[in-house]
């Protein structure tokens, strides 16, 4: 039987007959409403994440089947951590802390697309991605968490494929996340104060020279852009920038 496959990226639980899905399915004569409903049912657990979906249609019988992939590892980590984005500077900032059970859960969800030969190796792959997002594992940096896995400290959880957390454990993680966010905000204010002092001290100098000094002082890029904006077609005077930043 002739079959045709359509691959789309859908937000979990929010497929519609609008593009890109509807126009691609229309010429195949399949019941679009049924396809949309089944996709939303199968992707409901991935709310807020982009999910790869393949719709396979038999062009003669108009029957269809749906295969749902998994979102990128980074999105699954952010969802488990309850945060929208990773750290701007993962080396210096830590935005959340996950328990090994959550890492195992993600490793099992991504099982088919990871390179590790067994679950233990796949767990280490997930921890590696946590590192790039500024997410701790069991209160440890990624390199230390991987070392702990290698030393067998989480063998029981991995062997039992433990993925559930108690209410107390979830509460503790939420408190830890709040503490980390407060630390990030405190550090941000410190960076802003340091940057404003440099801008004021270098008043009258070219923007490029001031920016170089801010970079040398290890001020994060987003704060430099915020306090030292570049005007279209013209440079803003440093004295004006310092005044604007302190308003």
For residue range 221-238, what is the model confidence (pLDDT) as tens digits? 888 888 887 654 444 444
List all residues 6 or more positions away from 190 whose beta carbon is below 8 Å from its beta carbon.
Answer: none
E strand intervals along the chain: 3-11, 50-58, 64-68, 96-98, 135-137
Mean pLDDT (the chain) is: 85
pLDDT, tens digit, 9 for 90 and up, residues 25-75: 888 888 999 999 999 988 887 877 888 899 999 988 989 999 988 888 998
Answer positive or negative: Cα dihedral of 228, 232, 235, 237: negative
Task: Please tell me the least confidently modeled range out of 20-24, 124-128, 185-189.
Answer: 185-189
**Nearest in space to 105 (alpha carbons), one of 69, 140, 81, 133:** 81
Bigger pLDDT: 71 vs 153: 153
For the residues 125-138, what does the mean pLDDT come to?
Answer: 94
pLDDT computed for residue 1 by the predictor = 52
pLDDT computed for residue 185 by the predictor = 82
What gap in Å lies between CA 42 and CA 36, rounded to an integer?
A: 10
* Cα end-to-end span (Å), the chain: 69
Find out whether 184 and 136 touch, Cβ atoms under 8 Å: no
Radius of gyration over alpha carbons of the chain, in Å? 24
Bigger pLDDT: 1 vs 247: 1
Q: Is the preceding peptide bond at 226 cis, omega within 30 degrees of 0?
A: no
pLDDT computed for residue 131 by the predictor = 93
Burial of residue 101, with CB atoms counted within 10 A of its CB: 0-12 exposed, 13-18 middle, 19 or more buried: buried
- Looking at 3.40.50.300, 3.10.20.30, 1.10.10.250, 3.30.1490.100, the CATH number of the domain 73-165 comes to 1.10.10.250
Global confidence as pTM = 0.62
List all residues 6 or more positions away from 160 whose beta carbon is below 8 Å from its beta carbon.
Answer: none
Tokens read off for 95:
């935005």
- Secondary structure of residue 94 in the 3-state scheme: coil
**Nearest in space to 8 (alpha carbons), one of 108, 40, 31:** 40
- Looking at 1.10.10.10, 3.40.630.10, 3.30.1550.10, 2.160.20.70, the CATH number of the domain 3-68 comes to 3.30.1550.10
pLDDT computed for residue 106 by the predictor = 92
List all residues 6 or more positions away from 9 whose beta carbon is below 8 Å from its beta carbon.
Answer: 50, 51, 52, 53
What gap in Å lies between CA 7 and CA 49, rounded to an integer?
A: 16
For the residues 105-124, what does the mean pLDDT come to?
Answer: 89
pLDDT, tens digit, 9 for 90 and up, residues 154-202: 999 999 888 887 788 778 878 877 887 787 788 888 888 888 899 888 8
Bigger pLDDT: 101 vs 1: 101
């Amino acid at each position: 039987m002739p079959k045709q496959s359509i691959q789309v990226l859908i937000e979990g639980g929010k497929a519609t007959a609008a593009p890109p899905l509807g126009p691609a399915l229309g010429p195949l004569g399949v019941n679009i409403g049924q396809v949309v409903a089944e996709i939303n049912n199968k992707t409901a657990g991935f709310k807020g994440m982009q999910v790869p979906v393949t719709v396979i249609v038999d062009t003669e019988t108009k029957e269809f089947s749906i295969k749902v992939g998994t979102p990128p590892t980074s999105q699954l980590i952010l969802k488990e951590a309850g945060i929208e984005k990773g750290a701007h500077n993962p080396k210096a900032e830590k935005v959340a802390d996950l328990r090994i059970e959550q890492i195992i859960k993600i490793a099992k969800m991504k099982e088919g697309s990871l390179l590790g030969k067994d679950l233990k190796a796949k767990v280490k792959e997930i921890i590696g991605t946590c590192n790039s997002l500024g997410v701790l594992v069991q209160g440890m940096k990624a390199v230390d968490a991987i070392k702990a896995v290698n030393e067998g400290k989480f063998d029981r959880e991995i062997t039992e494929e433990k993925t559930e957390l108690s209410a107390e454990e979830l509460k503790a993680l939420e408190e830890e996340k709040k503490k980390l966010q407060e630390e990030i905000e405190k550090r941000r204010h410190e960076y802003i104060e340091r940057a404003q002092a440099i801008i004021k001290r270098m008043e009258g100098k070219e923007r490029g020279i001031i920016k170089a000094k801010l970079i040398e002082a290890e001020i994060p890029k987003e704060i430099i852009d915020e306090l030292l904006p570049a005007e279209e077609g013209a440079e803003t005077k440093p004295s004006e920038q310092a005044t604007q930043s302190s308003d």
